[in-house]
Structure 1
């Protein structure tokens, strides 16, 4: 019998690549998208599900629509960047609503199904949970949070036969990366004149270096294949660092003294 999986954030990038790969491998894939047009663009091999992970009512409807669910791939996410001093609290809340609370909400809703199927939860985190970048506080801290929550969940549900796996991508080149260049100035406008005076030049430098790194990154298919392994291996690993520089970044974040790590980060981003 084909295994059924729900993939959130499947409109583009890693989520789209994962949904299509799993469908090719024989899974029955329900792909969470924000717009019906995004679902149609995935083609006939997957079943699109309009799903906003911040909408509790819609999450409940989707969970209730399944008779059986073997796996959940938590991939939905957004990225907020900017100086901590000036990032709006609304933007920071949005970061956590999607990347943390949304992922937890979907997981909570489908865990009874996964427990019945002795299924798996695969969550897409980031090496940013190990190595925070300047101006990346909102995004990286949300990845720290979901890593910690995933660690707790892994131990809690193991006795019930549910495996919990974290995917930690490094540099991945997706369509979203190419759009970031157009967002630099609007994001600087959002922090006001004083924010631009204090941080504008450094933010532009950091973002330009970051975009260069991401454009040289791995294809989303690399992450999709790691997710496939996490779903099919008899003994999946607890964590999968995957993609360009993923192992290097997570290792540096764990072993270097803090001020040395600060200097490495600032030098790499042209901010030394």
Structure 2
């Protein structure tokens, strides 16, 4: 049964009965998204590599890097839901990856999950979404349009995710809405590995509340008009505009901030940042 086109105040569709799959459902973003959608009356099933006993919705164990496991888990979720109206591609990981160094296991891991994992899940959901004339929401990142240094794999994976979303929109956009959401930094364990490597993005970006990200996802899912791109805060909207239309401005701001951090000794003794320190650090 398709989602009824009942409109609520503000022109949003009623979420009651909406059949939803959320990836990365046991993580910080995923739990919040599942909780909000379920609270609005949607039927939500999550996918996650490590489900938790206290997950707010039913979560099916699924490794998004497994070519066989993904379609099986999606088929199970769609079968339990009785169809699919909304896919939220939320799962993603981060980690240190300077662009000047050769790509290693960390780079491949991020591309495998952030890009190819999304591709696998979406491909497995396409037929069900076309039948329901549903929607896909991609959790991208502000770094898809405004890259930060020392985290090249994450930015590359998220920019590639947007390219994938654009291609998907061209192919199935007559039947399925495709929206990219662009959060900035939100406090979550995704930053732990970068901080542990001494490459914290503290000072390179500004934290935003998780609630704003969830609000943007819900807006993408329920608004009468299908949005192509949705920043999550007013500041994010300005950054998104500048990065798209005046990239030289954002490049200068980020480069100056990196030089200030390197000059202050923020990366002292950090092997992955040795090149940056030689070029920009104290006495350079």
1:63 aligns with 2:40: no
Superposed, 1:198-217 pairs within 5 Å as 204=199, 207-210=201-204, 213-214=205-206, 217=207
8 Å CA contact 1:5–1:27 kept in 2: the answer is: yes
- 2:138 aligned residue: 123
Q: Which runs of 4+ in 1 moved over 4 A?
A: none
Deviations 1:90-147 (A, max 9, x none): 2211111001011011000111011111111111001111111111211111111011
| Partners of 1:89 and 1:54 in 2: CA distance | 17
Superposed, 1:1-272 pairs within 5 Å as 2-36=17-51, 38=52, 40-43=53-56, 46-65=57-76, 66-67=78-79, 68-159=83-174, 161-177=175-191, 179-180=192-193, 182-185=195-198, 204=199, 207-210=201-204, 213-214=205-206, 217-243=207-233, 245-256=235-246, 258=248, 260-269=249-258, 270=260, 271=262
| Partners of 1:135 and 1:95 in 2: CA distance | 14
| Partners of 2:130 and 2:247 in 1: CA distance | 41
* Paired positions, count: 242
Question: 1:148 aligns to what SS in structure 2?
Answer: helix
TM-score by length of 2: 0.78
Q: Which has the higher helix share?
A: 1
| Partners of 1:150 and 1:12 in 2: CA distance | 22
Q: What are the ranges of 5 or more consecutive residues in structure 2 without an aligned counterpart?
A: 1-15, 263-279
Compute the RMSD of aligned alpha carbons: 2.0
Question: 2:203 aligns to what SS in structure 1?
Answer: helix
| Partners of 1:248 and 1:128 in 2: CA distance | 14
8 Å CA contact 2:181–2:231 kept in 1: the answer is: yes
State the Cα distance separating 1:181 from its structure 2 match: 6.5
Deviations 1:206-235 (A, max 9, x none): 63424xx45xx2222211121111111111
8 Å CA contact 2:178–2:227 kept in 1: the answer is: no
Deviations 1:224-255 (A, max 9, x none): 12111111111121111013731132122123
8 Å CA contact 1:18–1:221 kept in 2: the answer is: no
8 Å CA contact 1:230–1:237 kept in 2: the answer is: yes
Q: What are the ranges of 5 or more consecutive residues in structure 1 without an aligned counterpart?
A: 186-203
State the Cα distance separating 1:74 from its structure 2 match: 0.3
If asked which structure has higher relative contact order (CA below 8 Å, sep 6+), I would say 1
